[in-house]
Amino acid sequence: MGRLQGKVAIVTGAAKGIGAATAKALAREGAKVVCTDLDEAAGQAIADDIANEGGEATFIRHDVVNEAEWEAVAKRAEEKFGGLHVLVNNAGIAPEAGPIEEKTLESWQHTISVDLDSVFLGCKHGIRTIKKYTSKAGAGGSIINLSSILGLVGQPGASDYNAAKGGVRLLTKSAALECAGAGYNIRVNSVHPGYIDTPMVKNVINRGVMGNEAVGANEMRELLIMQHPVGRLGIADEIANAILFLASDESSFMTGSEVVVDGGYTTR
């Protein structure tokens, strides 16, 4: 307990899955957490759960592709909790699979907007805010960007998601170098989960499309499990634990790094 005592964090997409697990994990370690999501009822429920467990949290509805709303979220952290030290850019979507030749420009742009542009906006406003509360000799800041195994390896039918998550990987490295060069004492790292048993992955399973081929939901689940040498899907808490490590001072010599938590998916 207390690994994040005195720190303030923002977690986007906090209403469910990895975001919810992360918000709770950071709060258990002493962080005051601003939970954001489009799902107001579920997001508020997570903030309430944290409060019921003795932590401090607040919820704000947040469209992560809206820059004005990013400004409002950063302001909420400062006004409610007195600063900002940690930002977890977790919000994202998993678009329907399909070949490049059949994807529409509209669907491509939507995926890039939600899965990449939002991380740019988060880094922009996160850095602007966090740097006010860090110094070379004082408390450090940390930005954690959720990428994916599909930000490291390609997959047919996932060109838009591959492009967005690959972009998050290199955006992270650029932001890390800028923060280090400016002396902001803000570290920026990316996390690359394998397939995690969350509502988003369950939606992917229910669609039943592997690459560009249709399969049943049960077969889809088994196919995904088979791609992980450990023989199962991950759980949200396993990713939250990696994020917690990056948010804490235990990872103080890490910036621009890729933390891969994928059950061995990318080892083959």
Separation between Cα atoms, residue 243 and residue 231, nearest integer Å: 23
Contact call for residues 18 and 240 (beta carbons, < 8 A): yes
Among 133, 161, 184, 265, the one annotated catalytic: 161
Six token digits for residue 222: 């088994």
161 noted as active-site residue: yes
Query: If DSSP codes are grouped into helix, strand and coil, which group holds residue 251?
Result: helix
Strand ranges of the sheet holding 258-261, from the earlier edge strand across to the other edge: 56-61, 32-37, 8-12, 86-89, 141-146, 186-193, 258-261
Cβ(85)–Cβ(134) under 8 Å?
Answer: yes
Contacts of 67-72 with CB under 8 Å at 24 or more apart are: 67/121, 67/125, 70/121, 70/122, 70/124, 70/125, 71/125
State the Cα–Cα distance between residues 194 and 147, nearest whole angstrom. 10
> Reduced to 3 states, what is the DSSP secondary structure of residue 229?
coil
* DSSP H/E element including 56: strand 56-61
| Residues with a known catalytic role | 161
